[in-house]
């Protein structure tokens, strides 16, 4: 037998109130929460996500003299030089960027994949088409080829323009053409 103290608890009763619940204060809280959620989400989307994506999927920054290794390629900027135009010509000097390239697969980049960024406010020079009389300017690489590639860019008319960076679109690489650490 069970002791008398272990009796069943009293039954619960439901209390029905005739007064309606006041929900007027809750609408303001929901509105404030929604505005804060959108605001914080926008801050994260614009200021947090881009640096994280650039860190993992962004452009590789390669200092002058360093070698980019990736996507079955090894690329090093060997030299940046200026080729003066023929005497009497009014055209600006041609800028040449000399690269040492080793590729473990065939590679044929487009001329639009290369650009040189100048020190004059981000001005850019586009690559001139390969010169058939100069095989080192050809953009076609055979399987497992190692050779020198000369990229020719039409020079700038500004005398204060200094080539700062060579941009390669595929793979996304930025080669610094001036001494110092990449910024």
Is 122 strand, coil or helix? coil
- The full DSSP string for 33-70 is HHHHHHHHHHHIIIIIHHHHHHHHHSPEEE-TT-EEEE
Confidence class of residue 25 from pLDDT cuts 50, 70 and 90?
low
Whether 123 shows a pLDDT value over 90: the answer reads no
pLDDT digits (tens, 9 = 90+) for 90-118: 677 788 999 999 999 898 998 889 999 98
Q: Token pair of 121, please?
A: 């406010």
Neighbours of 92 (CB within 10 A): 17
Going from N- to C-terminal start, the domains of the chain cover 25-58, 60-176
SS3 letters for 156-173?
Answer: CCCCCCCEEEEEECCCCE
Report the DSSP beta bridge partners of residue 34: none
Question: Rounded CA gap, 64 and 182, in Å?
Answer: 9
pTM of the entire structure?
A: 0.65
Question: Rounded CA gap, 158 and 120, in Å?
Answer: 9
Tokens 């000399």 belong to: 98
Question: Rounded CA gap, 138 and 148, in Å?
Answer: 10
8 Å CB contact between 176 and 162: no
pLDDT digits (tens, 9 = 90+) for 46-71: 888 887 777 677 778 888 889 999 88
Topology at the third CATH level for domain 60-176: Immunoglobulin-like (2.60.40)
Confidence class of residue 83 from pLDDT cuts 50, 70 and 90?
confident
Confidence class of residue 9 from pLDDT cuts 50, 70 and 90?
confident
């Amino acid at each position: 037998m069970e002791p008398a103290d272990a009796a069943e608890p009293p039954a619960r009763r439901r209390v029905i109130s005739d007064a309606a619940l006041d929900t007027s204060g809750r609408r303001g809280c929901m509105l404030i929460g929604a505005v804060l959620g959108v605001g914080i989400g926008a801050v994260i989307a614009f200021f947090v996500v881009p640096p994280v994506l650039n860190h993992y999927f962004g452009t590789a920054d390669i200092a002058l003299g360093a070698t980019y290794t990736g996507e079955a390629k090894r690329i090093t900027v060997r030299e940046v030089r200026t080729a003066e135009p023929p005497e009497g010509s009014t055209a600006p000097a041609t800028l040449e960027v000399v690269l040492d390239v080793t590729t473990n697969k065939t590679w044929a980049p487009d001329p639009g994949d290369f650009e040189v960024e100048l020190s004059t406010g981000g001005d850019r020079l586009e690559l001139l088409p390969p010169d058939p009389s100069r095989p080192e300017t050809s953009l076609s690489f055979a399987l497992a080829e190692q050779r020198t590639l000369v990229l020719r860019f039409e020079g700038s008319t500004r005398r204060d323009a200094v080539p700062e960076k060579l941009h390669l679109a595929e793979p996304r690489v930025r080669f610094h053409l001036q001494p110092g650490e990449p910024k």
